[in-house]
Amino acid sequence: ITPENIALHNLQISKRQNDKPRSNVATVTTDFSVQNVLMQMGCRLLTLQGFSITTIRRWVMRCYGCATVSDDMGRLFCPSCGNSTLVKAGVKIDKSGRVRYRMPYKKIFNNRGTKYSIPLPRGGRNNNDLKLREDVV
């Protein structure tokens, strides 16, 4: 794409997308991760061959115990039930605004305490006790 033929490419892409331009500034990229960020920001997007993403992808933490969704990716415990049952789940938002969650189905969950008993807390200054709930932290 050169400055002489950018208008031609812009016209072809706007015919394919059938949407009104949101701004006078556009970004030209073929990288899908950059396209995802640009679509989340609401910026106008141009691609070279016309291959662009159709859905926005995000990540959230979802509890597999109570199905609560948390946007805070640094959480270790569920804000609703308090268990350490949060897993990283993908979120797809399509053009119509429909939200779909994708849970990892092959995730091996923590089976600690099912075969052997959980050790008693030792206490003291330099202990390595298990943190089973958020209120223990």
Calpha distance 50→113 (Å, rounded): 53
As a whole number, mean pLDDT of residues 2-9 equals 64
Kindly state the tokens that stand for 110.
């923590």
- pLDDT on residue 82: 84
Q: Report pTM.
A: 0.56
What is the mean predicted confidence (pLDDT) over 65-78?
88
The string of DSSP codes covering 34-99 is HHHHHHHHT-EEE-SSS---SSEEEEEEEETTT--EE--TT--S-TTT-SS-EEEEEEEE-TT--E
What pLDDT digit, counting tens, does each position of 35-45 carry?
888 888 888 88
Q: If pLDDT is split at 50, 70 and 90, which confidence band does 5 have? A: low
77-134 residue pLDDT tens:
888 888 888 888 988 877 787 888 887 777 666 666 677 777 788 888 888 887 777 7
pLDDT of residue 35: 87
Q: How confident is the model at residue 26 (pLDDT cuts 50, 70, 90)?
A: confident
Task: Write down the pLDDT at residue 112.
Answer: 67
